[in-house]
């Protein structure tokens, strides 16, 4: 997908976040902790991971934005926004299994409610950062992704949604497991 403005990126990432909220609504504690197989993250762990990543990304966005502001790298409003895409990365990533860095691995000691609150807080901070992001030129600002290599500021912003979309599919896969519906229900 090509994004032609920061507003489009925000709309997309917020849409994905809404889907995540809906996906985890009304789950029992047992369903939140259910693992369809050994070594597979539970829904609670997936949501915890998402909260950890967005917190880390907020630090990155703050650092990159300040760097651009300090350098006077303002966006030229007379020039069109250069399209942003992660399609090449997403295509490669769709069939790959990644190992989360140690700092982004869920502990399993956090409830979905706590993780959702952290996600709401980090998203509010990301929304608050938007006016600053719209004033700077983030194309030249790059930071390496651990698997994809250097991404510019706008690609990192789009990554928020791409990452959550990937994990949304994982949430749905856990929920599609035959044993999920009966998780925590004692058999008679």
- Residue 188, pLDDT score: 30
Q: Is residue 181 part of a domain?
A: no
Residue 113 corresponds to which tokens in the numbers above?
């409610």
Q: Is residue 103 part of a domain?
A: yes
Q: Is residue 56 part of a domain?
A: yes
Q: Is residue 188 part of a domain?
A: no
Q: Is residue 145 part of a domain?
A: yes
Instruction: Identify the CA nearest to 122 among candidates 49, 188, 73, 179.
Output: 49
**Kind plus residue range of the DSSP H or E element containing 84:** strand 84-85
Domain span at residue 53? 2-175
How many domains is the chain partitioned into structurally? 1
Q: Is residue 185 part of a domain?
A: no
Q: What is the CATH number of the domain that holds 35?
A: 1.20.120.450
Per-residue pLDDT of the chain (188 residues; tens, 9 = 90+): 899 999 999 999 999 999 999 999 999 999 999 999 998 999 999 999 999 999 999 999 999 999 999 998 888 887 888 888 888 777 766 667 778 888 889 999 999 999 999 999 999 999 999 999 999 999 889 999 988 889 999 999 999 999 999 999 999 999 999 889 887 654 33
CB contact at 8 A, 187 and 63: no
H helices of 2-100, in order, are 6-24, 29-33, 43-70, 87-93
Q: Is residue 184 part of a domain?
A: no
H helices of 71-98, in order, are 87-93
Q: Is residue 182 part of a domain?
A: no
């Amino acid at each position: 997908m090509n994004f032609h403005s920061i507003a489009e990126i925000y709309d997309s990432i917020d849409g994905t976040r809404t889907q995540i909220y809906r996906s985890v609504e009304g789950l029992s504690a047992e369903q939140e902790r259910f693992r369809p197989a050994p070594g597979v993250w539970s829904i609670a762990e997936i949501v915890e991971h998402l909260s950890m990543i967005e917190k880390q990304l907020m630090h990155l966005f703050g650092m990159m934005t300040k760097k651009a502001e300090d350098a006077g790298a303002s966006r030229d409003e007379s020039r069109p926004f250069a399209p942003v895409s992660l399609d090449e990365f997403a295509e490669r990533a769709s069939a790959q299994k990644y190992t989360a860095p140690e700092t982004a691995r869920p502990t399993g000691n956090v409830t979905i409610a706590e993780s959702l609150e952290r996600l709401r807080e980090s998203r509010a901070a990301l929304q608050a950062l938007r006016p600053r992001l719209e004033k700077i030129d983030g194309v030249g600002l790059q930071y390496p992704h651990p698997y994809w290599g250097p991404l510019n500021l706008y690609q990192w912003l789009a990554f928020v949604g791409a990452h959550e979309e990937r994990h949304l599919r994982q949430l749905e896969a856990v929920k599609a497991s035959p044993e999920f519906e009966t998780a925590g229900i004692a058999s008679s």
